[in-house]
Structures are given as C-alpha cells and as structure tokens.
Structure 1
Amino acid sequence: MYLGLDLGTSALKAVLLAPDHSVAGQASASLAIAQPRPLWSEQNPADWEAALFAVCDELAAAHPGEMARVRAIGLAGQMHGAVVLDAARRPLRPAILWNDGRSHAECAALDAAVPDAPAITGNRAMPGFTAPKLLWLARHEPEVFAQIHLVLLPKDFLRLRLSGEAVTDMSDASGMFLLDVAARAWSAPLVAACSLTPAQLPRLVEGSAPAATLLPQMARRWGMGEGVILAGGAGDNAACAIGMGVVRPGDGFVSLGTSGVIFRVTDGFQPNAAACIHAFCHALPGTWHQMAVILSAASALRWVTRLTGSADEASLLAQVALLPPEARATAPLFLPYLSGERTPHNDAEATGAFLGLTHAHGAAALGYAVLEGVAFALRDGLLALGGGAPGGRFILVGGGTRSPLWCQLLADILGMTLIFSEGGENAGALGAARLAWLADGGALDSVCRQPAAQHVFTPASTGWAPRYASFRAVYPKLNRLV
C-alpha cells in the first residue's frame, strides 16, 4: 500500500494506492490564500501542516488496515513557493507562492547578474520562481533574510515535518531558478546571485528514489509500521504526469487546475526560454519535460462563479451549456490574466478583462467567455511549444475536467484529441503514490501505466478561429493602456 500526498494551492489531497492500482481511500483538506497587497499571494506553512494531519488522521480512522500496510509515502505539491526557515527550522514568515508577482525587478537583477541563466535553468527569470522571491526578501525584508537557515519548497516543508530531513526532488527544484537543469545539480552562480550558499538548500534526489524515513512518532500516530520510506516526490505537474503514465518522450497532458498547463515529455533537456516555455527535469532519472503555463484556469471559473452570484460552478456551467451557438459567438471576449501571465507573455502585471460587454450579456455569457478565454490562452501556450503530441492525443487532468463542455471546447481550440481517464482529478496525489511505489522497488512499466480512457474528446469545430484572432490582437493593445 502506498500513500500519496499532493499539497495544492486550494487543498491538500491524499490517496491510498493498492498494488492492484485501485484507490483504497482518499481524503482532502481545503486551504486558503492570503493576498495582503496587490500582486502578493501567500500561505502559512502551519496551515499545510494542519491539513497534513487532518487528511492522514482521517485516513487512519477510516482505513486503519490499509494505513498499517503503507510501505512508502510520496509527496507532490505546488511549485516555486519560498518557504524560509530559521535555525530551529521554524517558518520566518508566510510562504510566498507561485502566483505571487511582486519580484519583477528582482528578475531583471538576476538576468543582469547571471546572463546565461536561461541556458542553465532552461527558463527566463519570472516572478513566480523561487529565486526572485528570495532576492526580494533580501532587498525588502533584510531582517528576515539574515535569519534564513534553510529554504524549502512547499511539499518539502511537509517532508521536513514527517521525517526531519531537508530534501527536494529534481522536478520541483527545477522551478526554483537555482538548478542547473541539464546537470541536475544546484547552480553555483545562481545560488550566489541570491546571496545564499548550498548549505541553505535541501539535498537533491530523484523523484522516484528513497529520500527519508517516516519519524517513529508519526508512524505510531497513523498506525503504520517501522521504516516507511518517503520518496523524493515531484512538483505538481510532474506528479500529474506520473499519475497518468506520461513518462515517455512525446507523451503529454493538458491540466485544468488552479493554473493551466500543457506538459510534454522530451527526450533530453530542450530549453526554449525565449518562448517563455519551461524546461524542467521530470520526476524520473534521465528524463526532462517542457511546459507552457498560464496562471489562471479553474481559478478563473471559480472567480466568475463568485462574480455572477451563481450558487456554484456546476450551476453556472449548466447555464453555459444552454447557450445557443449564436449567443456563444457574441459573448464577450475574456483575457484570463487574473494573476498576471507566464506563457507566452511573461508579464506579472498583466490583468484580466472582459471586452464587448452589453446589456444582453448575463451570467451564462460571462461563464462561456471565461471557459473560452482560458482555452485561447492555452492555445497560445501550445503554439509557443511548437505544436502538440506526435499522435495528436493528450490526457486531461485537473479539477476543470469535470466539465465535458470545457473539455470539448479545449479539444476544438487546441485542435487535438483529449483523453479523459479515471483519476485525472487527483492525478497529482496518484502520481505521488506511484513515486512512493517506485521508491519501494516497483518497476516503471507496471507502476506508471496509462489509465483506460473513459471519454475521448475529438476536435469538432473551427468556428472559434475568428474570435481567437481577436483575442490575440487585444492583449498588446490593452498592455499599452494599463
């Protein structure tokens, strides 16, 4: 039995994975984000720890036999967050999250300090990454920065609490802008540019390797045996890939989570920083991947649900489904840059917008515009990647995949076949559990198989093309105005 823990932005999810690939139990705990100032996004690590105990306590109470048979634990989580700890390994301040945009000036400083950083990291400096956040702390909170004994990523803070060990994996470390991604080792020039030393960073392991052992007091609390392994784990998207069997060159997925992602496994390190594409290590040894990332996907749907006063997302989607084709064709255009944007704009100060609003537009039209705008932004990312899968088929993951309407719209606009499979909503936690299985000696081919397709969405319409052309034309014009 294997336990997968996925520390997302809005919730921590846990799954118990049996050796026959069935899910024997699952639990989740919600999380809140603090936005104390414009562009800021933070969470308290104590909330993550509380969520960890909540889900594991729940599983131990509901599935004591399965928890007793857990052999290894895998960790996945939101990437890029700056968790800074003092000498007693206590958080010095709230964690600065992946969708925080305050460190734009520090990105420019890193570019100047290490001109070949894109070749080293496979990425351009972006405010979402960890390194600019650390430089921001050095400049704006020097009293905090002076006390930093250890820098961790969010999921690795949970590992520290579970095992006492400060470790991260290659995929999550790739998003810090501190890793030599080709060499899979910390980059001395970038670490120095942030006024840090390697001693302040966690030990690096592969995601499928054993990284630590569960503390005895934790094992006793949850009725587990001795010597439970903690795998290296993965950043959220690499974990989703493992969960869906996306492990070989050319394999890929589209994610509709809080953010939106197009993920493609590559046969080597293939940086394309000029297009704002991320090139990261995968969670498996000797494997890399590329990603196009937009910062608002399912989070934009949650936002418009609140904006329109809809009871919940499902009820708004039901209204959208009733819109006739002519109403969709005249819906407002929506730019989904509610938290800035990465691919292809790399603009932390980009803002969202509805264009073409009239008295005739109601909640359904606004809801449709948001679904379409997110799909258009993902098409921008697909074009930046240079196209989709060789076979034209990607797997769908993330909470947004609960909407068949959105999935079909994505298939149309991306121009590729999209596969919905069981487990896609919890792919990160499932991937974490599979990495635990691999760390316990499991074989890649048997552990990381792709799930059977439950629904296939094939491109069926090109009527979106004129609206997409308008969408593409709007951002450069609005960008000059705001």
Structure 2
Amino acid sequence: MTLARHLGIDVGTSGLRVAALDAAGDCLWLEKANWPVPPTPDGHEQTPADWWVAFDDLMRRLGQQAHLAEVTSIAFAGTSGTVLTVTDDGAAEGPALMYDDPRGHGQIEALQQLDLDPDTQLSALARWRFLAEERGQSGRPVSQADWFVTRLTGQHVSDSNNALKWGFDAVAEQWPAALIERFGDRLPEVHRPGTAIAPVTPDLAQRWGLREGVIVAAGTTDSMAALWASGAAEEGDGVTSLGSTLALKLISTRPVSDAASGVYSHRFGDRFAVSGASNTGGRVLATFFDSEALAQLSESIDPAAPDTLGYWPLVGRGERFPVVAPDMRPRLTPRPADPALFLGGMLRGIARIEALGYRRFAALGGTTVRRVLSSGGGANNQVFARIRERALGVPVQTAEHTEAAVGAARLAALANGEGT
C-alpha cells in the first residue's frame, strides 16, 4: 500500500478534514472529524479544546492504523479572521471569536486612527483587541491555523495569508511600523505559507505514530488552501467558488486592493492572489429551486441564448463587489412564466457578475484573466459552465481538487522541497 507522505488539515467551523498525499502529490485519502457547535447568544464563539479533542482522536486512530508512519510534513488551513489568545505555553485563554463574530467594531475605529494604509485589513486585529480590552486576555494572538502550529511545535508564528487580516503588509512582507510601535513583540513572526517552521514535538509524534522530525509548515486560510488545491498555477488563472456566495480569486503578478469593495491580495508563492466576493450565488438560487429542479431545468436551457433579462440575483439588500451598492435590491423582474427561462436568466445574471468581477480586478491593476477553474456546488453544472464561458470570454474548467485540505497538504510538501 502507498503510504501518506504529506498531511493537510483544513480546520473549519464544525469540523476538520485531513488529506494525505503521496510522494508524487496524488491524494490517497480524506478523513474527517466533527465537534459540537453550541449556539452563542452574542456572536459566534467556539472552544479550542473541542477542536483539539477531535483532531487528537483522529490522529490517534490514523496512527493506530499505521497510516502516518511515513509522513514527513504537515500543514494547516483555518478560517480566515478567527482569533484566540494563548499563554506562553500555547494554552488557549478562552473561547475563540470566529471569523463571522461581529464584535470588535469599536476597536476597528481606534485602529484606523493609527498611521496605516487605508486598505489595511484589520478585522482579526480588532477581535484580538476586543479580547484584550473587554475580557482582559493578555496572551499572544493567534489564528485558528496558527494555534495548531503552536500546539504541535511550541512556536508562536503565523503565515502571511492569515496575518493579512491582522494588518500585515503582504506586499512588503512585514508588519507596518505603526503596528510594531503599538503592539511590539505581541505580534507573531510571519512566514510565507509552506515555509518549514519546526518539527512536531517528540511527545505528540510518539502519541500519533509519527516518525521523529516530521516538519510542520506555515499554514494558510481556508480559501487560499482551496486555491492551492484547484490546480491554478499560472498568471491569469482565475478560480471561482460557486457556493452560497460568488467568490473570485485571480493569480496576478501585481497586488491590488480596494477596501471599499473588499478586494485584497494574498501572497501566492512569488505572485499574488487577488480576492473579491459578491453577495450573489447559490443561496439565491436555492430560494427558488431545489437541487433536483436545478439539474432538470438546466437541461432545457440554451447556453448560447443572449442575456435579455438583465438580472442581478441577490437574497436581500446590498452588494459589495464588483460594485459597492449597500442599498441595491435584488433585480429579478420581469419573471417569465417558464421556470427554465427564469433560471436561465438567473444563471446569466450570476455569470455577468462574475465577468464584471474579473474585469474589476484588471481595472484595479491586476492581471487579465486567461482561464477560470470552478469549485463549489455550482461547478458541476455544465450548462452553467458554458453560460459562464460565453460571459467571461475564456475557457471554464473544473478545479483539480475542491478540498482545502488537499491545498494544505500541497503546502506541507513545499516545506520538504517536494511541491511546486
């Protein structure tokens, strides 16, 4: 049996997934573990101990089955913007504030008074300051992925993808002077994703059946791990995630940002991944059609037909990208009596918004899109793919892999010099 050489762990909101790659980079298997997610009245908090129990139990089981005996490297992806604080020995001081927790708005206003570029991303930094100022947590700040790196290695470090929403300058690859002056050594040392950090501690290696010296790599965010998994590698490659919303990423030689529309750039090797997300997407389709109806009606849609309805499909009020229109209402009229015509109009509307998104990246200074790889639930609809090709004017293909854990495993391979 071919044994796993690199592990990628995608830590999410209700569980984690582990992907194993062999020495050739092929995915051998995927495993998952879940944890309880009790409701929290004032926001979205989770207990890091629940993450650890699920991870530790899964690793022990895999180790007992001898699946980890030849592993040489590990990397983690986590939800972007999730924040917790830790003591010097890596113990969590309290619950984590998840990426969608609304608290920290007051802290953002104070942080914006610092001498920072107006496009600096501050949402995670603001959650940390909320924990420090409102709850008295004085420990070091870490992201979800950082915390696992700390637990496995004892090192307080981060990666440039997760650190972006802490105010890190991904272009200059350094903390802004204003943040260093304000927070000093409380800020972590930041590395590019896929950089070798340190080996797994001997006690954990023995516990999980790992050999000595397994390297833990600097990790990434969940969306960036999905980009690494997709197979996108060249300048001009776009990746569209067709999930509940419409999320775009573009590999560009030039970084671009626009805080007003939520456009920002992550490091992606020696290039940049320009990112933006519209409020349109699968959620609005699900308001009108179940999955069976979507599949059946799509078969009777002509992908070459023109977009005559001009829809802008939204669930509620407000758009953020490719236009900033907080008061925009859904545009879904006139509505044809034929449900296939109605669905076709919605699909063409989403495709038009996608095309406008990539054009917006180019207008801001990014690379022109040359092909688009698709992930998410909508990626399997071939009629929709042809509609999108017509709107985009470039080839549309399915991503190599859609599991973020596979992307994290590819970063783990980089730490051993075996990935590209």
The correspondence of residues 71-110 of structure 1 with structure 2, limited to 5 A, is: 71-86=72-87, 89-104=90-105, 106-110=107-111
Sort the Cα spacing of 1:429 and 1:137 in 2 relative to 1 into closer, same or farther, 3 A: same
User: Any conservation in 1 of the 2:280–2:313 contact (CA below 8 Å)?
Assistant: no
Query: Corresponding residue for 2:117?
Result: 117
Say yes or no: does 1:292 pair with 2:276. Answer: yes
Counterpart among 393, 396, 417 of residue 441 in structure 1: 417
Alignment partners' CA distance in 2, 1:280 and 1:318: 35
Helix, strand or coil: the match of 1:68?
Answer: coil
Sort the Cα spacing of 1:407 and 1:93 in 2 relative to 1 into closer, same or farther, 3 A: farther
Query: Corresponding residue for 1:255?
Result: 241
Query: Corresponding residue for 1:203?
Result: 189
Question: Which is worse superposed, 328-337 or 240-249?
Answer: 328-337
User: Any conservation in 2 of the 1:296–1:337 contact (CA below 8 Å)?
Assistant: no
Q: What is the identity, as a one-letter code, of the residue corresponding to 1:211?
A: I
The correspondence of residues 442-461 of structure 1 with structure 2, limited to 5 A, is: 442=418, 447-448=419-420
Task: Report the alpha carbon displacement of residue 29 of structure 1 after superposing the two structures with TM.
Answer: 3.1
Query: Corresponding residue for 2:139?
Result: 149
Say yes or no: does 1:382 pair with 2:355. Answer: no
Say yes or no: does 1:238 pair with 2:224. Answer: yes
Counterpart among 4, 12, 16 of residue 16 in structure 2: 12
Alignment partners' CA distance in 1, 2:350 and 2:61: 35
Query: Corresponding residue for 1:23?
Result: 27
The correspondence of residues 35-434 of structure 1 with structure 2, limited to 5 A, is: 36=40, 40-57=43-60, 59-60=62-63, 64=66, 66-86=67-87, 89-104=90-105, 106-114=107-115, 116-118=116-118, 123=119, 125=121, 129-137=123-131, 142-144=133-135, 146-176=136-166, 178-190=167-179, 197-257=183-243, 260-273=246-259, 275-282=261-268, 284=269, 286-294=270-278, 297=281, 300=283, 305=286, 314-321=291-298, 334-336=313-315, 342-344=320-322, 355-356=332-333, 375=351, 377-386=353-362, 390=368, 392-423=370-401, 425-426=402-403, 428-434=404-410
- Structure 1 residues 400-430: Cα deviation after superposition (integer angstroms, max 9, x where no partner): 424434444443444432121432x21x222
Alignment partners' CA distance in 1, 2:70 and 2:138: 38
User: Any conservation in 2 of the 1:292–1:382 contact (CA below 8 Å)?
Assistant: no
Aligned length: 411
User: Any conservation in 2 of the 1:48–1:158 contact (CA below 8 Å)?
Assistant: no
Helix, strand or coil: the match of 1:80?
Answer: coil
- Structure 1 residues 308-357: Cα deviation after superposition (integer angstroms, max 9, x where no partner): 795xxx4353354356579x97798531569x76534678x879858559
User: Any conservation in 1 of the 2:158–2:190 contact (CA below 8 Å)?
Assistant: yes
Alignment partners' CA distance in 1, 2:6 and 2:320: 34
Q: What is the identity, as a one-letter code, of the residue corresponding to 1:15?
A: A
Q: What is the identity, as a one-letter code, of the residue corresponding to 2:389?
A: A
User: Any conservation in 2 of the 1:252–1:389 contact (CA below 8 Å)?
Assistant: no
User: Any conservation in 2 of the 1:276–1:344 contact (CA below 8 Å)?
Assistant: no
Sort the Cα spacing of 1:309 and 1:256 in 2 relative to 1 into closer, same or farther, 3 A: closer
Q: What is the identity, as a one-letter code, of the residue corresponding to 2:175?
A: W
Alignment partners' CA distance in 2, 1:400 and 1:187: 39
| TM-score, with length taken from structure 2 | 0.80
User: Any conservation in 1 of the 2:60–2:209 contact (CA below 8 Å)?
Assistant: no
User: Any conservation in 2 of the 1:5–1:74 contact (CA below 8 Å)?
Assistant: yes
Helix, strand or coil: the match of 1:99?
Answer: coil
Sort the Cα spacing of 1:404 and 1:6 in 2 relative to 1 into closer, same or farther, 3 A: farther
Alignment partners' CA distance in 1, 2:19 and 2:198: 20
User: Any conservation in 1 of the 2:347–2:384 contact (CA below 8 Å)?
Assistant: yes
Sort the Cα spacing of 1:330 and 1:270 in 2 relative to 1 into closer, same or farther, 3 A: closer
The correspondence of residues 457-476 of structure 1 with structure 2, limited to 5 A, is: none
Task: Report the alpha carbon displacement of residue 232 of structure 1 after superposing the two structures with TM.
Answer: 0.9
Q: What is the identity, as a one-letter code, of the residue corresponding to 1:151?
A: P
User: Any conservation in 2 of the 1:124–1:273 contact (CA below 8 Å)?
Assistant: yes
| TM-score, with length taken from structure 1 | 0.71
Query: Corresponding residue for 1:480?
Result: none
Helix, strand or coil: the match of 2:68?
Answer: helix
Task: Report the alpha carbon displacement of residue 157 of structure 1 after superposing the two structures with TM.
Answer: 1.6
Alignment partners' CA distance in 1, 2:68 and 2:91: 29
Runs of 5+ unmatched residues, structure 1: 449-482
- Structure 1 residues 258-305: Cα deviation after superposition (integer angstroms, max 9, x where no partner): 6543222232444444553202222x2x4333212346755x27xx75
Instruction: Using the aligned pairs only, state the percent identity.
Output: 25
- Structure 1 residues 148-182: Cα deviation after superposition (integer angstroms, max 9, x where no partner): 31111111122222223222111221232x21222
Q: What is the identity, as a one-letter code, of the residue corresponding to 1:83?
A: L
Q: What is the identity, as a one-letter code, of the residue corresponding to 2:408?
A: A
Q: What is the identity, as a one-letter code, of the residue corresponding to 1:117?
A: D
Alignment partners' CA distance in 1, 2:331 and 2:155: 47
User: Any conservation in 2 of the 1:111–1:117 contact (CA below 8 Å)?
Assistant: no
Task: Report the alpha carbon displacement of residue 103 of structure 1 after superposing the two structures with TM.
Answer: 4.4
Q: What is the identity, as a one-letter code, of the residue corresponding to 1:215?
A: T
Q: CA RMSD in A?
A: 3.9
User: Any conservation in 2 of the 1:117–1:190 contact (CA below 8 Å)?
Assistant: no
Task: Report the alpha carbon displacement of residue 88 of structure 1 after superposing the two structures with TM.
Answer: 5.8
Alignment partners' CA distance in 2, 1:238 and 1:32: 25
More helix per residue? 1
Q: What is the identity, as a one-letter code, of the residue corresponding to 2:48?
A: P
